[in-house]
Every structure is written in C-alpha cells, then in structure tokens.
C-alpha cells in the first residue's frame, strides 16, 4: 500500500530532490514499523530547476508529497497498525534551516487489506506527479563526448522542449543550458560537470518533454571520440 509524506513549503522557500544539485540535502526518512512490515524506497515527484546564490538546485516549492510503499504481511492480524518515522529535511531561501519531525499514522488491516486512515485523493494526485517509465517501444540512447553527454531519443511526437534531471551528483553542469536539436530524432546535449572524475556506465534520472510529461530513464552510455567515432567501452 502507498503512504505519503506531505510538505507545505512557505512561499519563497524550497526543499530538495534526491539529487539536490549544487547545494542542499535531500529529505531523509527513518521508519519505525511493526514487526513484519517493510517500507520501500521514496518515490520522488518531478523536480524543478532553481537558481540560488549557491548555484543551481533541484527541488520543490509549495505543496509536495513524497510517496513510498509499505508491505503488510498476509499474516497480519486484523486491527490497527501504528507506523512511525523520523523525518529530516533542509528548507532553504536566503538561508538554509535544518528541520526534523516525528511522524505517525494508523494503518487499518481488515479482510487481508490495509487502509491508510489518513489517505484519500492526496495519494492519487501525488502518484500522478511521479515520472513514468520510458516507453520500451521508443528509441533512447546516450553517448559520451569529451565535454558533454548526448541523449538521443525518438518519442511519439517531436518535442519543442526537453530537460534532463540527473539522479547522480556531479555528472552534468547543473546551470548549463541543455541544447535540444530535433530532426529525425531528438538530441539533447548535457554539458559535463567540471567535477566529473569517472565516466558513468549509465545516465539515470528524469527526462521531461514539453514541460509536462516526465519519464524515468536509465540508459547505458556509449563513448564517442571527438571525431564522432563510436568507441567500445
């Protein structure tokens, strides 16, 4: 079953995505669960790129919900299961303030089903903001050039805009423009970070097309020489 952690962020302030960008820290969650109950990884909504005095960050403003899933064993006794978690996050504006909270909720188990007594339409709307998997029938490739990575893809419709959010830190220059060229296929150039020390085997992250459709991608990186020749890894 899904549970959500909702943030109500004051105007002008922001929290961070799983990759915070040039500065900041992603929210951290430590669960305290009944015996046999386990929690999955956090599911992150599509972030926004934000320019601050410290650089270019990835995060959220306004109302944001982070989702995760709880696995309730089939042997769970009908009744109420209390769940608790320690939450730590960083909220920033002109300054950054570390925050923490102890969270609790009740999960009702009945007829082999678990129901979050505090849920509702909130979880459904939050799920709609989670990037979807890249469609397997659409071409997607990645290449590494001396100074940039290049994503090559062929979606259902040629995009007028594309933006990539890397899941890993210090892979791309977060502040650099991402240049999109659309021909037979779309090509998105991503300037490499000056702090990149090891060529990644994969590019992982979120690819947003036309500012509205977000996809989770995990694509192997082929290495290309400055002359444009493909090299084996």
How many other CB atoms are found less than 10 A from the CB of residue 177? 9
At 225 the pLDDT is 53
Is the domain of 154 the same as that of 88? no
Lay out the sheet containing 79-92: strands in order across.
28-32, 79-92, 96-110, 113-116
At 61 the pLDDT is 97
Q: Looking at 127, 151, 168, which one is the last position of a domain?
A: 127
Query: How many domains, the chain?
Result: 2
Is the domain of 103 the same as that of 188? no
At 209 the pLDDT is 96
Question: Quick check: helix, strand or coil at residue 217?
Answer: strand
Compute the distance between CA of residue 102 and CA of residue 21 in angstroms, rounded to an integer: 27
Is the domain of 119 the same as that of 200? no
Q: Looking at 127, 161, 187, which one is the last position of a domain?
A: 127
Q: Looking at 127, 144, 163, which one is the last position of a domain?
A: 127
At 96 the pLDDT is 94
Is the domain of 156 the same as that of 220? yes
CATH number at 71 reads 2.60.40.1250
Is the domain of 46 the same as that of 138? no
Is the domain of 91 the same as that of 136? no
Q: Between vectors from CA 213 to CA 220 and to CA 15, what angle results, nearest 5°? A: 85
Print the domain residue range for 225. 132-231
Instruction: List the pLDDT tens digit at each of the 233 positions of the chain.
Output: 889 999 999 999 999 999 999 999 999 999 999 999 999 999 999 999 998 888 999 999 999 999 999 999 888 888 888 999 999 999 999 899 999 999 999 888 876 555 554 555 788 889 999 999 999 889 999 999 999 999 999 988 889 999 999 999 999 999 999 999 999 899 999 999 999 999 999 999 999 999 889 999 999 999 765 444 445 44
Q: Quick check: 57 and 21 in contact, CB under 8 A?
A: yes
Is the domain of 140 the same as that of 122? no
Is the domain of 115 the same as that of 138? no
Compute the distance between CA of residue 17 and CA of residue 147 in angstroms, rounded to an integer: 26
Is the domain of 101 the same as that of 137? no
């Amino acid at each position: 079953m899904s549970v959500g952690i909702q943030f109500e962020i004051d105007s002008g302030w922001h929290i961070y995505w799983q990759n915070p960008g040039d500065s900041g820290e992603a929210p951290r969650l430590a669960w305290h669960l009944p015996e046999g109950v386990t929690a999955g990884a956090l599911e992150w909504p599509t972030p926004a790129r934000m320019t601050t005095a410290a650089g270019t960050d990835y995060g959220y403003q306004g109302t944001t919900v982070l989702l995760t899933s709880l696995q309730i064993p089939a042997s769970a006794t009908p009744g109420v299961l209390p769940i608790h978690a320690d939450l730590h996050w960083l909220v920033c504006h002109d300054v950054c303030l570390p925050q923490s909270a102890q969270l609790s909720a009740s999960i009702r188990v009945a007829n082999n089903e678990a129901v979050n007594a505090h849920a509702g339409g909130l979880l459904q709307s939050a799920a709609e903001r989670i990037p979807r998997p890249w469609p397997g029938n659409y071409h997607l490739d990645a290449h590494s050039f001396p100074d940039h990575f290049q994503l090559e893809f062929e979606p259902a419709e040629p995009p007028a805009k594309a933006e990539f959010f890397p899941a890993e830190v210090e892979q791309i220059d977060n502040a650099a423009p991402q240049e999109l060229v659309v021909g037979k296929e779309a090509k998105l150039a991503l300037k490499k970070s000056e702090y990149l020390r090891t060529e990644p085997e994969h590019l992982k992250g979120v690819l947003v097309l036309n500012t509205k459709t977000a996809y989770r991608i995990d694509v192997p990186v082929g290495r290309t020489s400055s002359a444009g020749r493909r090299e084996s890894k």
